[in-house]
C-alpha cells in the first residue's frame, strides 16, 4: 500500500518517452450506411460533448476521447516487463457511414516514481501510463510492435474494440450487413525525441497488417494518430475488397459477395481526404513503395468486370429460357 505522505508529483510533469497505439478497423454491422447526422449522434459517446465531423470530401465522424484505466505489463524484447498504471485514450471513427474504427493510444512516462501510487495520482493525467520499473524506450517500442497480445500485457486493440462495441446497440444499426468482413489491427509506436525531424518506417507485420515505427517530437503525435487511422482504414478497405473477390470465386452465388462489396466500399477510397499536410509526404513515400492506390483501382476494376460478366451471363440465361 502506498504511504499517505508519498510525494504526488503527477506524471503530467514528465514528458512521455514513447507513445503506443493500435487502430482496429471493421465494417459497421448495418445494412445501410449512417447519414452524417446520424453518425454524429451515434458517436456522441460522452454526455454534453459533440462528435467532430467532416462532410467533404468523405463523410467522417469522430467521437470524443474516452479513457480506460489500466494496470498491466508493457512488452519488451530484452529484460523484465515493466508494470504500467494509468489511463488509455480511445475514440471511435466512422467513415462514409459504414467503416468503423476503434483508435486507442497511450503516452508512456518513465522514471516519474518507483512504487505504486494512489489512483488519484494517475488520474491527474489522462491518456498516460507510468512505468514503475526501469525500462528502455527503444525496447518498449520494439516490444510493443513485435510481441503478440498476451495475458497481463497492455491490450490497446481490445480497448479499441470496446469502443467500437458501443455502437452495436444504437437504433440505426440493424445488425444486417450484407458483406462478410474481418477486423484488422494496425500497431504503431513513437519514440519521442524533442527537436528532431520525423523519421518513420512502415512495415508489414507477421499477420500482414502494417506496423508503423516513428521517432518524432511530441507535438506531431496528433498528426501521427490521424495518419495511422488513415493507413489502417485504407489497408482494411483493400483487404476487404480483395477477400470479397476471392470468396466470389468459390461461391455458388458470386454476385452476393461482389455486389455489396462494391456498394459498401467502392466509393470510400480517398487517403488524402483528411491527411495532415505536415505528414503527407509519408503517404506519398508509402505509395511509391507499396502502390496501394494502384492495387485498389486494379481490384475495383476486377470486381466491376466480374459483375458485368455475371450480369451478362444472367441476362443470356434468361433470354435462352424465354425462347425455349
Task: Identify which has the larger pLDDT, 84 or 169.
Answer: 84
pLDDT of residue 145: 95
Q: How many angstroms separate the CA atoms of 1 and 118, rounded?
A: 9
Q: Give the model's pLDDT for residue 7.
A: 43
**pLDDT in the model for residue 62:** 97
Which whole number is the average pLDDT over 281-303?
Answer: 95
| Residue of higher predicted confidence among 313 and 192 | 192
3-state helix, strand, coil in the chain (%, to 5): 40, 25, 35
Range of the domain at 51: 11-218
Same domain? 49 vs 20: yes
Q: Residue 204: its pLDDT value, please?
A: 85
Last residue of a domain, one of 155, 186, 218: 218
Q: Is residue 232 in a domain?
A: no
pLDDT for 6 equals 36
Residue-wise pLDDT for 233-277, tens only, equals 999 999 999 999 999 999 999 999 999 999 999 999 999 988 999
Of the residues 171, 186, 218, which one is the last residue of a structural domain?
218
Q: How many distinct structural domains can be found in the chain?
A: 2
CA 154 – CA 132 distance, rounded (Å): 14
One domain, residues 164 and 282: no
Q: Are 52 and 141 in the same domain?
A: yes
Q: Please tell me which residue, 4 or 34, carries the higher pLDDT value.
A: 34
- Give residue 4's pLDDT: 34
Task: Kindly report the pTM of this predicted structure.
Answer: 0.92
Indicate whether 177 and 136 sit together in one domain. yes
- Exposure b/e, 60-93, CB count within 10 A at least 16 = b: bbbbbbbbbebebbbbbeeeebbbbbbbbbbbbb
Distance CA(184)–CA(97), nearest Å, equals 18
pLDDT class for 131, splitting at 50, 70, 90? very high
**Mean predicted confidence (pLDDT) in 125-137:** 92
Q: Is 229 domain-assigned?
A: no
Residue ending a domain, choose from 190, 218, 246 = 218
Whether 6 is covered by a domain: the verdict is: no
Helix, strand, or coil here: 295?
Answer: helix
Amino acid at each position: 500500500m502506498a504511504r499517505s505522505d508519498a510525494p504526488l508529483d503527477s506524471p503530467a510533469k514528465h514528458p512521455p518517452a514513447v507513445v503506443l497505439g493500435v487502430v482496429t478497423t471493421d465494417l459497421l454491422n448495418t445494412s445501410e450506411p449512417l447519414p452524417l447526422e446520424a453518425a454524429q449522434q451515434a458517436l456522441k459517446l460522452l454526455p454534453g460533448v459533440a462528435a467532430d465531423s467532416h462532410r467533404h470530401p468523405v463523410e467522417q465522424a469522430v467521437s470524443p476521447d474516452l479513457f480506460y484505466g489500466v494496470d498491466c505489463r508493457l512488452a519488451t524484447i530484452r529484460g523484465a516487463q515493466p508494470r504500467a498504471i494509468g489511463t488509455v485514450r480511445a475514440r471511435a471513427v466512422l467513415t462514409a457511414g459504414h467503416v468503423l474504427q476503434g483508435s486507442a493510444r497511450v503516452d508512456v512516462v518513465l522514471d516519474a516514481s518507483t512504487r505504486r501510487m494512489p489512483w488519484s495520482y494517475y488520474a491527474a493525467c489522462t491518456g498516460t501510463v507510468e512505468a514503475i520499473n526501469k525500462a528502455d524506450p527503444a525496447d518498449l517500442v520494439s516490444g510493443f510492435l513485435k510481441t503478440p497480445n498476451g495475458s497481463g500485457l497492455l491490450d490497446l486493440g481490445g480497448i479499441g474494440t470496446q469502443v467500437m462495441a458501443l455502437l452495436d446497440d444504437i437504433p440505426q444499426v440493424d445488425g444486417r450487413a450484407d458483406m462478410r468482413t474481418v477486423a484488422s489491427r494496425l500497431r504503431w509506436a513513437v519514440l519521442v525525441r524533442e527537436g528532431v525531424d520525423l523519421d518513420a518506417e512502415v512495415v508489414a507485420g507477421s499477420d500482414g497488417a502494417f506496423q508503423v515505427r516513428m521517432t518524432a517530437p511530441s507535438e506531431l503525435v496528433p498528426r501521427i494518430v490521424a495518419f495511422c487511422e488513415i493507413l489502417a482504414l485504407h489497408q482494411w478497405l483493400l483487404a476487404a475488397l480483395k477477400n470479397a473477390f476471392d470468396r466470389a470465386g468459390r461461391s455458388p452465388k458470386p454476385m452476393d459477395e461482389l455486389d455489396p462489396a462494391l456498394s459498401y466500399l467502392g466509393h470510400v477510397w480517398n487517403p488524402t481526404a483528411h491527411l495532415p499536410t505536415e505528414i503527407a509526404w509519408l503517404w506519398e513515400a508509402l505509395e511509391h513503395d507499396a502502390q496501394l492506390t494502384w492495387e485498389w483501382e486494379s481490384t475495383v476494376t476486377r470486381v466491376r468486370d466480374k459483375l458485368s460478366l455475371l450480369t451478362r451471363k444472367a441476362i443470356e440465361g434468361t433470354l435462352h429460357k424465354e425462347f425455349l
